[in-house]
Structure 1
Amino acid sequence: MDLLALVDFNLVARHGGFGRAARLSGRPKATLSRRVAELERSLDLRLFERGARTLKLTQEGRMLHERTAVLLTEIDETAASIASGGERPRGRLRISAPLLFSQTAMGRLAAGFALAYPEVRLEVTTDDRNVDMVEEGYDLVIRVNPAPDENLVGRIFLRDRLVVVASPDLPRPQEGQAVPVVVRDARDGSTSWELQGASGSARIAVDPVLSLSSLVMVRDAVRIGVGAARLPVSLVSHDLVAGTLAHWGDVAGPEIALWALYPSRRLLSARVSSFLDYLKAAFPKGTPDELAAYLAG
């Protein structure tokens, strides 16, 4: 497989079209089109559905993009790390992380990193909004399921999934009956939740009786028995094992992916590279069970 063709394919897939990819990368549109066509011929697969004005990944194209984009990022990171030679990580490293990850894991991660790299002055702020990394001076951000951004690159370092849990004392709702629930965002407006279990999918009616701004608070409220809630399985894994919470089913929908992102136009510094390596060492598999074990440790 031609690596350059694979790089160009991911560039087009990432930006959603040949024209946009060409404008943002500075590469000729004809070259991108030719490289992708060559890759399709070599694989004997159609990677894009080409319409008059639209370009959409096929199922095979989407699988190839998902599996190779991270690998190409790791190649870039490795090359940048080698290029930095014997440079010792030093100086200020500013990181923005989401609230839940900060509350549950970031304190230990930051302390361990500070001990391992004493010449780095690590600053971590908690924010769920999409910060402007360049304008606000961040070197790296951690985000949950971020929207595509042509100015950022990165990789998934953890995966999680949502489950519906409740106190064992809270009865499951009968058909047509609304169950009291605790939500993080009062603006959600959901009137029902779709669950997936061993016997298939089901939908339950919900009645939000309590809104809290933190998933840790939501979990604590659910433990008391005020209602059911949708929570990351890593956050409630210990409760499920101990029997203090009951598992009603998995939430239908995409998985939770935690990304470590940094500006694509900036040479990867030794500080950022070292922190990425530290994350990978802390979560080598990146599974929900691994995160749950880390939180319980």
Structure 2
Amino acid sequence: MDLLALADFNLVARHGGIGRAARASGRPKATLSRRVTELERSLELRLFERGTRTLKLTEEGRALFDRTAALLTELDESVAAIASGGERPRGTLRISAPLFFAQAAMGKLAAGFALKYPEVRLEVTTEDRIVDMIEEGYDLIIRVNPAPDEHLIGRVLLRDRLVVVASPAFVRPEADAAVPAVVRGSGDQGPVWTITTPSGKSQISVEPVLRLSSLFMVRDAVRAGVGIARLPVSLVYRDLLDATLVHWGDMDAPEVELWTLYPSRRLLSARVSVFLDYLREAFPMGRLEELTGFIAT
């Protein structure tokens, strides 16, 4: 395959048309058009649907663009780094992080990273949904207990666990009554929670009285005595030490693991590599106490 033709195809696809690509790059329109046509001929595929005024990627063209755009960008960066005599990371680094981790630590982490690597433009999006890294253009995602994915590789950044807590002033209902609970989100979290205490396992019937979108909001509501909640230890660690919250038990649930993930078929760019190293320095042991240090009271 002609690498130059592939690069010109990506240029046209990225700008959405030969004219716009020519103006952005200073290249002749005739040259770009010829290169794209030659690539289509060599692949025996139509990569663009051509209208009188529009140029739209075909399904095959979109697949080729998605799989080669990042590789060509990384190749350009590698050549530039070698030519400049170093591998100083530069460019845009797009990250998707879950809400709790972003609220707890990402602001401080991002600021420190920006000061250390001023040539990298860090863009962090906060969301808990499953994202398509390739389609949505992320370089790195951070996720809680992600499902196995053959297209992604990564490592555990932090480990945490869920505990059930309440305010010391909260009065526990009678044994056969449901306990008021503060829960995150609008989904059904189950009417019964199983907890583990030094005396063994037990079950608590709960009735959600507040549904909030942030674990920090849940913690604050529990502090006010509204009800019980299940929360990460890292979020309530200081409350438990200061006795502003009391520990009812550990949730009978798998350990919470926070993973950093990136595409397995993509070359690891310098900016992703240094950000992974930066996270390892911030959380060298991967313990919840390290995250606690970021959380403001």
Deviation sequence 1:27-57 (CA, Å, 0-9, x none): xxxxxxxxxxxxxxxxxxxxxxxxxxxxxxx
Query: 2: CA distance between counterparts of 1:186 and 1:87?
Result: 47
Query: 1: CA distance between counterparts of 2:196 and 2:183?
Result: 19
**What is aligned with 1:212?**
212
Letter of the structure 2 residue corresponding to residue 265 of structure 1: R
**What is aligned with 1:267?**
267
Letter of the structure 1 residue corresponding to residue 122 of structure 2: L
- 1:1-297 → structure 2 map (5 Å cutoff): 86-296=86-296
Which SS does the other structure have where 1:112 is aligned?
A: helix
Query: 1: CA distance between counterparts of 2:214 and 2:295?
Result: 17
Query: 1: CA distance between counterparts of 2:189 and 2:281?
Result: 40
Query: 2: CA distance between counterparts of 1:279 and 1:261?
Result: 12
Is this contact kept in 2: 1:238–1:296, CA < 8 A?
no
Which SS does the other structure have where 1:280 is aligned?
A: helix
Letter of the structure 1 residue corresponding to residue 293 of structure 2: A
Letter of the structure 1 residue corresponding to residue 100 of structure 2: L
Letter of the structure 1 residue corresponding to residue 168 of structure 2: P
Is this contact kept in 2: 1:163–1:230, CA < 8 A?
yes
Which SS does the other structure have where 2:100 is aligned?
A: helix
Query: 2: CA distance between counterparts of 1:161 and 1:236?
Result: 11
Give the 4+ runs in structure 1 shifted more than 6 A: none
The 1:97–1:207 alpha-carbon spacing in structure 2 relative to 1, beyond 3 Å, is same
Deviation sequence 1:242-276 (CA, Å, 0-9, x none): 11111111101101100000010001011001000
* TM-score of the pair, normalised by structure 2: 0.70
Question: Highest CA radius of gyration, 1 or 2?
Answer: 2
Deviation sequence 1:82-118 (CA, Å, 0-9, x none): xx88411111100000111111110000000111111
Query: 2: CA distance between counterparts of 1:221 and 1:296?
Result: 16
CA displacement at 1:171 relative to structure 2:
2.5
Deviation sequence 1:132-160 (CA, Å, 0-9, x none): 11111100000000111111110001011
Query: 1: CA distance between counterparts of 2:212 and 2:185?
Result: 7
Is this contact kept in 1: 2:104–2:294, CA < 8 A?
no
Which SS does the other structure have where 1:158 is aligned?
A: strand
- In structure 2, the gaps of 5 or more residues are 1-77
Q: Pairwise CA RMSD of aligned residues?
A: 1.7
- Give the length in aligned residue pairs: 215
Percent of residue pairs bearing the same amino acid type:
68
- In structure 1, the gaps of 5 or more residues are 1-80
Is this contact kept in 1: 2:89–2:270, CA < 8 A?
yes
Which SS does the other structure have where 1:175 is aligned?
A: coil
CA displacement at 1:296 relative to structure 2:
4.6
Is this contact kept in 1: 2:184–2:212, CA < 8 A?
yes
* TM-score of the pair, normalised by structure 1: 0.70
Letter of the structure 2 residue corresponding to residue 233 of structure 1: V
